A and B are shown apart, each in its own frame.
Chain A
């Protein structure tokens, strides 16, 4: 979700196989650089493979360009990587959130599993509970939220949505990205 010169990403931390929970502390939201956060939902193996692939690509980008990648460029990179497997896709839904440019304008991007991008101004959702998330985010979102308020709204949205979805939950983590840095907090959710 986007606020006033800040963005937040929240995700749950359950790792399961269909209806069986395997682990409660899996992290699916990754920091690309000080301006970009990248979250993925979907098949765990593809999440790990793509995490490694993007880490490699970003390291190479930093060495070649001698600067940090901007969120918009990174989003396009993600979309291109996913489309390159158009007929044998990675089963993930990525979300990119970042602060673009000199004035730290919030940037949000969500793509589907083959890289079709959308750039909404308010919020993006992904995962097994995405319908619930969509509804509750629509209700609670307002423009130009300060970081503290943004954190509250994002947390409440996630908590409400994962309670309704059987396959989500078992702990959650919220990252708030402002020009001063990233704040990370873990929330307790229902353990069922």
Chain B
């Protein structure tokens, strides 16, 4: 039921997630932030079981913090992805976490953004664009068609809204409200909280 979309642009990573928290047929919360900051330049977007998501993301965030305290240095996105994958892979045969993640981060050293697809089994893949959840079925082909290397921020935001419009229109489970965040050299910024209603003429309203 969760939708997460992300892609890498020119010196930034754009990520969006729907803001519904639900259980079975019930919507528990309409302003749930699924894009949690791991440190100043990384976001872990979580989907799946809410409790598992909270616990697992806390585990990762606190261990990354511990590493920074012990070693006086920030971990790269690749390292965090690797560490997260290892935690998921060792957990799957003992006490599985039902969380599927997208890890996006900006590395000052390489001056590039990167995005990783991690699933609950412990699969991990570095991707340029991707999505988790039912959104992936709709948004995959849109991103295949329109994503290009080194998209400007305006073009990237337009592409993201195109994806979210499609998710709102075609996914039968109502997800109207999305939160879009960006990571660049300055850190994490909330770009927009959008509410999409495909029936209205002005379909996208910015909610602040």
Query: What residues make up the interface of A, taking CB atoms closer than 8 Å to B?
Result: 15, 17, 20-23, 26, 43-45, 48-49, 88
Stretch at the interface among B123-131, B158-166, B175-183, B188-196: B123-131
Q: Which among B92, B117, B126, B130 is the interface contact of A45 at CB below 8 angstroms?
A: B92
Determine if A22 and B122 form an interchain contact, defined as CB atoms under 8 angstroms apart: no
Q: Which among B89, B122, B127 is the interface contact of A23 at CB below 8 angstroms?
A: B127
Known: A22-B117, A22-B130, A49-B89. A44 touches B136 (CB 8 A): no
How far does the alpha carbon of A81 sit from the alpha carbon of B15 in the complex, in Å? Answer: 39
CB contacts (< 8 Å) of A21 on chain B: these are 140
Q: Which among B85, B89, B92, B125 is the interface contact of A15 at CB below 8 angstroms?
A: B125
Beta-carbon nearest neighbor of B117 in chain A: A22
Q: CB-defined interface of B113-142 with A at 8 Å, one 1/0 digit per residue?
A: 000010101111111001000001100100
Does B199 belong to the interface (CB within 8 Å)? no
CB contacts (< 8 Å) of B200 on chain A: these are none
How far does the alpha carbon of A20 sit from the alpha carbon of B126 in the complex, in Å? Answer: 16
Determine if A22 and B127 form an interchain contact, defined as CB atoms under 8 angstroms apart: yes
How far does the alpha carbon of A44 sit from the alpha carbon of B127 in the complex, in Å? Answer: 15
Determine if B89 and A48 form an interchain contact, defined as CB atoms under 8 angstroms apart: yes
Does B93 belong to the interface (CB within 8 Å)? yes
29 contacts between A and B (CB under 8 A): A15-B123, A15-B125, A17-B119, A20-B137, A21-B140, A22-B117, A22-B130, A22-B136, A23-B125, A23-B126, A23-B130, A26-B125, A43-B121, A43-B123, A44-B121, A44-B123, A44-B124, A44-B125, A45-B88, A45-B89, A45-B121, A45-B122, A45-B123, A45-B124, A48-B85, A48-B89, A48-B122, A48-B123, A88-B93
With A45-B89, A48-B85 already in contact, 12 other A-B pairs whose C-beta atoms are closer than 8 Å = A21-B140, A23-B117, A23-B126, A26-B125, A43-B121, A44-B125, A45-B92, A45-B124, A48-B89, A48-B122, A49-B122, A88-B93
Q: Which among B88, B89, B92, B125 is the interface contact of A22 at CB below 8 angstroms?
A: B125
How far does the alpha carbon of A75 sit from the alpha carbon of B123 in the complex, in Å? Answer: 24
How far does the alpha carbon of A23 sit from the alpha carbon of B140 in the complex, in Å? Answer: 10
How far does the alpha carbon of A15 sit from the alpha carbon of B117 in the complex, in Å? Answer: 11
CB contacts (< 8 Å) of A15 on chain B: these are 123, 125
Task: Give min CB distance, A54 to chain B, whole Å.
Answer: 15
How far does the alpha carbon of A26 sit from the alpha carbon of B123 in the complex, in Å? Answer: 11
CB contacts (< 8 Å) of A26 on chain B: these are 125
CB contacts (< 8 Å) of B130 on chain A: these are 22-23
Task: Give min CB distance, B123 to chain A, whole Å.
Answer: 4
CB contacts (< 8 Å) of B136 on chain A: these are 20, 22
CB contacts (< 8 Å) of A22 on chain B: these are 117, 125, 127, 130, 136
